[in-house]
Every structure is written in C-alpha cells, then in structure tokens.
C-alpha cells in the first residue's frame, strides 16, 4: 500500500495481547483514514453508553495518508475517544513528531483497549510493540517522564506522548502531551489514558512511507510549496498564533473575563508582539511542517521564571490571561508551562478558573471554598496557583478539575449563566458573537462541543476566502457579511465544514487549508497530492464525500449517546449583547433558524438534527441507520 | 568555483523537510532514516541540520576505491557497484554523515544531487543553502568566530 503503512496495531492492556491487523485498502479509501476511519472503528467496536473511564472504553490514535509525508501540513495525528468531560465523540489533534513517527514505526492506527493492572508505557518500534513497566514513572510530570524514557531507551530520536499528574488524577480535561510541548489537548484524553494506567506511548521507526508515483509527488509538493508562498494568513507563522491577540482585541472579539466582554484594556501587555520581542528563543515547527507557527520561549527570572518550552499559543494566552483578567505575560507563560508539564488543556483550565473568578465575584464561591485564595479578576498569582491545584486535585482544584458544566451543576442555577460551554466543552478563544455567525453554528454542532478546530474555523469563509470550494458549490461570494444570520449561512456552513473535514480525514493540520486556488491546500490540490501519494484516482469530489461520511458518522456516534438537536445549543451569554468595547451590541439571535437551514443542507432531520436513513444509505453507512 | 552546502541553525525550525526531500529524491520514498542530510532536534531549542562538507576523508580510507570526487560538483560520490558496504568510511567520518543504507547494503552519502540539492532547494526558512564556495567560506568564518568569541551580556 502506498501513502499508508496498511497496518493497525491493537493493544489490550488487560490481557497484554498485542496484535497487528492488516487494513483493507477499499475500506480505507472509503473513509480515507485518520478521524474518518477512527469514527468507523469506534462506532462499530464501542457500544453506546460505555463509561469513558472504564476499561471497556477504547482509544484510537489515528494518522492519515499525508501524516509524515512531505505534504506541507502533514505533522498531525489525532486521538479519537469518548470524552469523559462531554460524553461525546472527541478527536484531539496534535502536531510535533508523534504522528509521523508512529507511521515510520509501521502503523497508521493504534487501538488501545482495556486497563493495565499497574502503570505501563507502550513502546512502538519498527513494526513491533512492547508493554513496558512504568511504575517508576507514575507521579512524574510530562517532562520528567519524557526524559526518563529517552534515557532508559538510550534513544533521543523517540517521540514520547505522555500524561502528567493531571491525567493520573483524572482531571476531566487532562491532556496528552507529545514531544514535551505539543498537546492533544481537549476533552480529557489524559484522564482516559490515566484510567487505563497508560503513562505514555513511545514511537520511532526506520520504515518509510512508500510513494506510488514519486516524480509526480515531488512535482505536486513543489507546487504546494509555491502556492503556500501566497498564503493569506502568513502573519500567523510570522508572529506565532499568539500574534492574533492584538488584532482580535482591536475588533472587540478577544474573549475577556469569562466571556463577559470582548475587549481587554491591557491587551498590549500580553500581546504576541511582547512574546516575540522579549521571551522568544526561536521559532519551531511540527514534524514536516513548512509553516512553523510554534514559538519557543522562556522567562529568565522573577516569580514566574520558566524554563524553555513551546508556547504560548493564542488560545493559551487568552485563557490564562484576559479570560481571567490577567495582564501579566510572564504569569501566562508560566501557567502554560505548568499546563504542559502536568498535562492539562489550557483552554478548559483557563475558563474553569475564569468561571470560578466570576462565581467568587458573585458570592457563589467564598474564601472557605477556595482554600483562602481570593479569586479576583487579574490576580496572576492566583491563576498560577490554581493550575497547580487543579493538576493535583487539591482543595478548590478538585472542583475546578470537573470543568465548568459540572461545576455549575454543583454551584446551582445562579452559576449556570456563567458556565461557558457547549455539550460540556469550554469555548475556545474565538468570540462567536463577533467573529462570524458561521462560527456560532460550528460551536453548536461540532461533535465534540464548542470547537475552533474540528473540522474548521468557518470564519475564514466569512473573511472572503473560498478555501477552494467555489468549484464545488459553495455559495460565493459570501453575502450579508460576518454578522449575517440568514439561512444561507447554514447552507454555506455545510460546505465549509466538509472542506475542513478533509484535513481531518487526511491527517493534515488545519492551517494551510484557508485560502483559494494558488494560495492554500484546496480540496483539488489535496486530491492531486493523494493521487500521486497513494496511486488512487482520487478527486476533490471523492474527498468531499469521504468527509461527509466521516462528519455524519461522528454525528451518529453522538446520537447513540443521546445527543441530538436539543444539545446543539450555545451558552446563554452568547445570545446576550456584548456590553462594551468595539463590538458592543453583538450577539447571536437566530441560532435556531441557522440550525434549520444547516440541517436541511446536510440532509438531516430538522426536528432531531440527526442524519436521515436516506442520507446514511447514500453515504454507504447502512450500519449506522437506526 | 563550485558551490557548497551551508547551514544556519538559527533559521532551522526543526521541521525535517530536508530529510524527507532527500529520501524522496534518492529512494522514491519518504523516510528520514534514509536521508543523507540529518536534522538534530533536541531540547532545549536545538535544531541543527548536519550536512556533508565533502571533505573527502572517506575517499582516502575506502579499501575498494568506491568513493570518488565528482569533477563537476566536487561532491564525494559513492559508486554503489564497487562499494562492499564494509563501513570503513562510516567509522572515519568526523561529522557522522555517512551511513550504510540498510536496503542496498552500501554506503550512502550526500552527492549534492548532481548540483541541485533537494534539501537546500526546498528548505522553507533558508536554513540550508547551496552557495558559492567563497561566500559560504565567509559565512562559516563568521559563524566560527561568533561561536568561539567571549560573550559579554
């Protein structure tokens, strides 16, 4: 097989059984791979209602055809699982070297089942796997674990994906961190692996990826590299994603003080410019990425001194900063470092703290609940202290470790208004009231809850970028502007979502797919890349159909868990106007109308919001009917 | 004067694309472990492309004269037909940029792609360049001097 390794590794931690399964080429092509194929695996192998933290829960580490190849966005892998935070399908993407190295080790997928009796780690190398003892690693943070494993194996080239104390302690939004600073962040994969006593997965290999038509492949990659010289979002790698902060604030769409507003008065103190000027050591890229949006930073002294590490990204800078009213960039970098070493999702961590601060301000939490720490907006030291407490589930940290949905359930109905989540997943740092109304739909319908990543950041369409979908039927040019809530948005969002889902099923990073012909990786260009790589006669239309298959199957996974239209809701605050700043007055008014149009465009039942039997049959998903 | 490969680690992001291009060009597959350019990525913040400087020490030790200098590019090139894969060249290389290719069982090293090296041609950040030898020498002097200078800060 070309492009793929053709192998799936299945490890049962209960029995210790390790199996290598050959993948069926036809079936692989139907889903393309990565999250699409993982959706099929989890839908068929994991019955509804499984407790995500029980041994019966399965986890799929998924790579795609372009992972580890020269495709300029091919540094990604995704961990697919049922989230303990939301109870829904989850896909947590990460870059770094882990995905490519899993493929060089000989596997497209790793399925983890069961629960080890004692802590273990998994070593995957050159077509083989070994379950190794990790009792001596339990209790260590991600960095210590990574160092210890590299020393033990005497191999600095291995890629280590590890959980920290947060995952061991079952923090419901604990992350998996690979290569020290890259996070499969959202939804609590760290807690799932912790529940399985799996401390780390380690991959390396000398197997290559076979290319069907090497000459053609070199030519199309060369073309992709040329196109990306015109990438319209080139400012992102130049400044790192944290560079977005100033601009977003100027437009009044920087979520601030737990989404109470979209403008932070001290944004210039925590902006990307400051990070780049004062704290950056160098730029760094994920494996195989020509973009290089990663920053490597350190704080050399003071009370928030931090050793060199990756970050902070835009999301983190907002979540540990303005979301908590914090204007101290050194505290943000320190908080980011702690989240990385303890293995915490910075987004859910930040909002959980912001939510606690708002509850404290309203008197719903008092000094007695907070171990005597006054949770006042802007208290940088309190934020850093809370990150520690959350990771160890110590005192107030035990409550915060549950995420805002469960915290609100405990704190009572008055707290509900301040709980900023969709399906239990805390909102990321893009303000859906301002940025674009297509983003509001995205948050509402995304299978894993409020999400800026999977499958796309639909605002790009509103920014007048066609993402190569013009030829495939996207309504173009966008009408009505970013604030338009008319039904046409729903129709457009179908296309935008499917375009984004293409990167999900190919194992590509989200960046590089925004632009138009000649400036980004359009579905047409991805099809050309796939053609040369796999030897299959792939077309853009085939990619769109496979994307739709994947998107529908994830919906079906959630439907089995009881999720439907009633759960495609936004936090109450999002329907209320932003009170001040440059975007004062913006709100989401007509979510239901947009949902109606979107469901209709998707071929889903309007009242339930679920794929119809006809739609599923059309996509060859008969097994998901019912 | 011919050209040489020159690296600037400060520009390297550790993306490993040069290794992928090398293996694609040489073997038609993507496999960093079959690359003749090496990216060392370590923590904290070490990203260094290591390339063959074509010094020719390997030429002198080869017992079967399988390594020869190409007259056009000045690159030291392996003649796979005569190479026995004994590995003497690997032992002597001061930079560790020679290896025995596991599939062909012969020595493998950078041959500058016959005068248009794929690594330099595709490095997204200009960390590897194929430059005029005189200009490259000046750059190397600069790097060497900076590296050994007493740092005042």
- The yes-or-no verdict on residue B1 having pLDDT over 80 is no
Q: A106: distance to nearest CA of chain B, Å?
A: 12
Report yes or no: A292 at the B interface, CB cutoff 8 Å: yes
Architecture of the domain defined by A237-426:
Orthogonal Bundle (1.10)
Count how many residues are written for chain A: 626
The pLDDT of residue B151 is: 75
Q: What is the DSSP string of A300-353?
A: -SSTT-EEEEE---HHHHHHTTGGGT---HHHHHHHHHHHHHHTB-HHHHHHHH
Q: Which of B15, B24, B45 sits opposite A214 (nearest CB)?
A: B24
The contacts of residue A247 (CB under 8 Å, 6+ apart) are none
Q: Which of A211, A281, A291 sits opposite B29 (nearest CB)?
A: A211
Least CA distance to A207: which residue of chain B?
Answer: B31
**Which of A73, A283, A298 is most worth mutating to test chain B (most B CB atoms within 10 A of its CB)?**
A283
pLDDT class of B153 with cuts at 50, 70, 90: low
The pLDDT of residue A492 is: 82
The pLDDT of residue A526 is: 98
The pLDDT of residue A487 is: 84
Q: A2: distance to nearest CA of chain B, Å?
A: 10
**Which residue stretches of chain A have pLDDT < 50?**
none
The Cα A578–Cα A259 span in angstroms is 9
The pLDDT of residue B129 is: 97
The CATH number of the domain holding residue B77 is: 3.30.70.20
Q: List, by residue range, all CATH 3.60.9.10 domains of chain A.
A: 7-204
The pLDDT of residue A460 is: 85
CB atoms within 10 A of CB A490: 23
CA distances from A558 to A83, A111, A131, A230, A507 (A): 11, 20, 32, 39, 22
Q: List, by residue range, all CATH 1.10.599.10 domains of chain A.
A: 437-624
Give SS3 for A594: helix
Q: List, by residue range, all CATH 1.10.569.10 domains of chain A.
A: 237-426
Report yes or no: A68 at the B interface, CB cutoff 8 Å: yes
Least CA distance to B26: which residue of chain A?
Answer: A214
Report yes or no: A289 at the B interface, CB cutoff 8 Å: yes
The Cα A22–Cα A6 span in angstroms is 6
The domain of B133 spans: 3-152
Query: Cβ–Cβ of A180/B31 closer than 8 Å?
Result: no
B14 contacts on A by Cβ (under 8 Å): 284-285
Q: Which of B15, B24, B27 sits opposite A292 (nearest CB)?
A: B15
State ipTM: 0.96
Report yes or no: A234 at the B interface, CB cutoff 8 Å: no
Domain A7-204 CATH class label: alpha beta
Query: Cβ–Cβ of A208/B23 closer than 8 Å?
Result: yes
Count how many residues are written for chain B: 153
Q: What is the pLDDT of residues B80-117, one digit of tens each?
A: 999 999 999 999 999 999 999 999 999 999 999 999 99
Terminal CA-CA length for chain B? 39
Report yes or no: A569 at the B interface, CB cutoff 8 Å: no
The Cα A545–Cα A246 span in angstroms is 38
CA distances from A620 to A326, A517, A545 (A): 50, 31, 10
Question: What CATH fold (topology level) applies to the domain A437-624?
Answer: 1.10.599
The pLDDT of residue A463 is: 84
Report yes or no: A177 at the B interface, CB cutoff 8 Å: no
Tokens, residue A480: 């009505």
The pLDDT of residue B152 is: 73
């Amino acid at each position: 097989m070309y492009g793929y390794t053709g192998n799936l590794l299945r490890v049962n931690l209960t029995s210790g059984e390790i199996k290598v399964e050959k993948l069926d080429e036809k079936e692989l092509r139907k889903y393309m791979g990565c999250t699409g194929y993982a959706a099929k695996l989890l839908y068929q192998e994991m019955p509804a209602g499984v407790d995500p933290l029980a041994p019966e829960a399965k986890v799929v580490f998924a790579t795609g055809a372009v992972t580890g190849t020269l495709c300029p966005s091919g540094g990604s892998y995704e961990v697919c699982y049922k989230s303990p935070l939301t109870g829904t399908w989850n896909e947590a993407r990460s870059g770094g070297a882990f995905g490519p190295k899993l493929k060089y080790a000989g596997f497209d997928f790793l399925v983890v089942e069961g629960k080890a009796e004692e802590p273990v780690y998994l070593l995957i190398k050159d077509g083989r796997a070994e379950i190794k003892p990790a009792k001596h690693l339990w209790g260590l943070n991600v960095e210590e674990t990574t160092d210890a494993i590299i020393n033990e194996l005497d191999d600095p080239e291995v890629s280590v994906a590890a959980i920290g104390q947060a995952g061991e302690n079952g923090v419901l939004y604990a992350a998996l961190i690979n290569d020290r600073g890259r996070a499969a962040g959202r939804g609590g994969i760290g807690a799932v692996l912790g529940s399985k006593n799996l401390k780390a997965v380690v991959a390396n290999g000398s197997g290559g990826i076979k290319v069907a038509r090497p000459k053609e492949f070199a030519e199309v990659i060369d073309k992709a590299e040329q196109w990306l010289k015109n990438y319209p979002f080139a400012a992102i790698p130049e400044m790192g994603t944290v560079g977005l902060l100033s601009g977003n604030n100027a437009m009044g769409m920087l979520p601030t003080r737990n989404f109470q507003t979209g403008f932070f008065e001290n944004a210039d103190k925590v902006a990307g410019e400051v990070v780049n000027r004062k704290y950056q050591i160098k730029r760094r890229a994920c494996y195989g990425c020509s973009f290089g949006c990663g920053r490597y930073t350190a704080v050399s002294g003071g009370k928030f001194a931090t050793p060199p590490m990756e970050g902070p990204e835009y999301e983190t800078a907002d979540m540990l900063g303005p979301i908590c009213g914090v204007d101290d960039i050194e505290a943000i970098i320190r908080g980011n470092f702690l989240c990385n070493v303890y293995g915490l999702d910075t987004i859910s961590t930040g909002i959980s703290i912001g939510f606690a601060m708002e509850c404290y301000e309203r008197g719903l939490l008092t000094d007695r609940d907070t171990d005597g720490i006054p949770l006042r907006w802007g208290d940088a030291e309190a934020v850093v202290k809370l990150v520690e407490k959350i990771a160890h589930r110590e005192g107030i940290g035990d409550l915060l470790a549950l995420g805002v949905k469960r915290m609100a359930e405990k704190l009572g109905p008055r707290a509900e208004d301040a709980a900023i989540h969709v399906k239990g997943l805390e909102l990321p740092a893009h303000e859906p009231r301002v940025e674009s109304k297509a983003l509001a739909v995205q948050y509402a319908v995304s299978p894993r809850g409020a999400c800026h990543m999977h499958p796309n950041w639909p605002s790009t369409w509103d920014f007048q970028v066609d993402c190569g979908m013009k030829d495939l039927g996207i309504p173009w040019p966008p009408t009505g502007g970013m604030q338009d809530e008319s039904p046409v948005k729903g129709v457009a969002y179908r296309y935008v979502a499917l375009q984004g889902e293409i990167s999900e099923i190919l194992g590509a990073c989200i960046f590089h797919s925004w632009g138009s012909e000649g400036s980004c990786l359009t579905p047409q260009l991805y099809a050309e890349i796939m053609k040369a790589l796999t030897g299959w006669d792939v077309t853009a239309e085939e990619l769109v159909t496979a994307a739709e298959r994947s998107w529908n199957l994830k919906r079906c996974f959630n439907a089995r868990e009881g999720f439907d239209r009633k759960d495609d809701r936004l936090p109450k605050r999002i329907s209320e106007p932003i009170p001040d700043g440059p975007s004062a007055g913006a709100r989401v008014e007509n979510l239901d109308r947009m949902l109606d149009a979107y469901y209709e465009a998707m071929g889903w039942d309007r009242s339930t919001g679920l794929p119809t039997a006809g739609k599923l049959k059309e996509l060859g998903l008969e097994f998901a009917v019912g | 004067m011919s050209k040489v490969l020159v690296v600037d680690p400060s520009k390297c992001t550790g993306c490993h694309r040069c290794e992928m291009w090398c293996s694609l060009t040489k073997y038609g597959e993507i496999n960093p472990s079959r690359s003749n350019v090496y990216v060392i990525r370590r923590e904290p913040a070490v990203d260094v492309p290591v390339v063959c400087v074509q010094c020719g020490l390997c030429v002198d030790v080869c017992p079967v004269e399988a390594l020869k200098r190409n007259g056009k590019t000045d690159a030291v090139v392996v003649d796979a037909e005569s190479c026995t894969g004994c590995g003497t060249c690997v032992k002597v290389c001061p930079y560790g940029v020679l290896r025995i290719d596991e599939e062909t069982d012969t020595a493998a090293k950078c041959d500058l792609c016959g005068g248009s090296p794929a690594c330099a041609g595709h490095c997204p950040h200009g960390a590897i360049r194929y430059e005029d030898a005189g200009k490259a020498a000046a750059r190397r002097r600069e790097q060497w001097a900076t590296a050994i200078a007493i740092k005042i800060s």
